[in-house]
Amino acid sequence: MKRLLSLVFASLLFFSLAPEFASANSSTSLISSLRTHMGTPYVYGGTTPSGFDCSGYIQYVFKKEGHSVPRTTGQQFSTGTSVSKNNLQVGDLVFFNTTGRGVSHVGVYAGSNNFIHASTSKGVTVTSLNDPYYWGSRYIGARRVASFDDEKMVAAAAPVKEVVYASRAEVAKELAETLQLDTASANVTFNDVDESNPNYAAIAAVAEANIFSGDQGNFMPDGELTRAQMAKVLVQAFDLHGSAQANFKDVPAGHWATEYINILYHHNITTGYGDGTFGLEDKVTAAQLNKFIDRINK
């Protein structure tokens, strides 16, 4: 069912902007690969999934993602470009002094003030960069050793193609058909959708299934979806569960979409933008939507 839904979305929303899809070089792919090894034990000198030390873990995953970095922490600290803590982007290497004798530990910035690393006590784990008990006071700098295409894609300048977004009504129709929702007896109504709308039954069905909702009694059938709204649609349509604290800078704890976004983050479906934001009100491009669905199906 998930694969079928993916194909439906792709056929509905895909438009030709090849440069947005051409590269697998994304920070999300890197973080997903890093998280694949969560819980792998720490082994001094370890460079394989049977056991990593901190720099061996970095070198192994970066190589898998197509980037070459040196083997030791000291060598990695001398590579790439220096980055201030305020300008960290997902994929940057972050370094610590844990011995009192200079750089001795490395991890990868994962967004929202978190980093992934192979720790001696817990193995591969996620930790707050500002951990007041240990890591916060031992942070000494960061290096950008690779450039990534994050979720905020920019279309190619030439040839110029108009970005076409699917309307909420069109997505509702495809969801209702794909999920085989009961469109005959659904009775949810909206002020701006009546039986003259060809997608009236589908809109009522997805609303009754709690996949879509309106605002103040309106469905806005011709409207476009924001990233916040799409987070809810994906979670509801794919019946996703589990949660992890994403801590995106622009997503307050009390926002209606926060938990949906946390669920996507938990499943590695989104890491947000490189500046630590999610882009709540950004309209969803077909490229972003396609990537979200691809990650769900992995």
Active site residue 105: yes
Tell me, rounded to whole angstroms, the distance of Cα 29 from its chain centroid: 9
Closest C-alpha to 206, from 177, 226, 165, 240 = 177
Residue type, 193: V
How far is Cα 281 from Cα 255, in angstroms, rounded to an integer?
A: 12
Active-site annotation holder among 37, 67, 105, 266: 105
Q: Tell me how far apart the alpha carbons of residues 76 and 7 are, in angstroms, rounded to a whole number.
A: 42
The residue from 117, 241, 255, 267 that is catalytic is: 117
| Catalytic hit among 54, 67, 255, 267 | 54
Q: Which sequence positions are flagged as catalytic?
A: 54, 105, 117
